[in-house]
Amino acid sequence: MKLLVCVDGSKQGWKALNKAIEIASGCSINEVTLIHVYESVEKNYWIATGEGYYPTEEDFEKLKGLQQNMAEKRKKMLDECAAKFKEEGINPGILLEEGHPAHTIARIADDGNYDMIIMGNRGLGGLKKIFLGSVSNAVIQETKASVLVVK
């Protein structure tokens, strides 16, 4: 059995990680892969600056620093998650991917023939859920793998 465990550093993400460790420790798991998917910093940066704004050299330098800082934080988070598995004698693979989270997770799961995806639920409700959508719901709709959403 192959597990794809989605991590994002959130409270719900840590709950999903702990559930994945519990499952992997108690079952015959052949492979565990941790995945973190992030959207482009440039895309979000230019959206935030507004339409008609022309970036300066200073903007590009800020963006470069922001990207480096984010990369370090993502790497540290993935290393912490992997260390939790290693405490249980499980050596997980690590994937850091740029793209739309739901589409990328579903594609990786299907291309890699994963049996199960384990992920947290952000718990958005009301209008936020309508406008932002749900990564977990989109993954459920897009993948052939089973999906365990941990609340």
pLDDT tens digits for 108-150?
999 999 999 999 987 555 555 554 458 898 999 999 999 999 9
**Residue 57 belongs to a domain:** no
CATH number at residue 19: 3.40.50.620
Tell me, what amino acid is at 7? Answer: V
Structural domains counted in the chain: 1
In a domain, 23, yes or no: yes
Range of the domain at 125: 2-39+76-150
Q: What is the value of pTM for the model shown?
A: 0.83
CA pair distance 27, 135, nearest whole angstrom: 27
Q: Tell whether 126 is covered by a domain.
A: yes
The reply to whether 16 falls in a domain is: yes
- Name, in order, each residue with C-beta under 8 angstroms of 19's C-beta and a sequence gap of 6 or more: 118, 148, 150
Over residues 35-64, the pLDDT tens digits come to 999 887 665 555 555 566 677 788 778 888
In sequence order, what are the residues at sequence separation of 6 or more whose Cβ sits closer than 8 angstroms to the Cβ of residue 74? 36, 38, 96
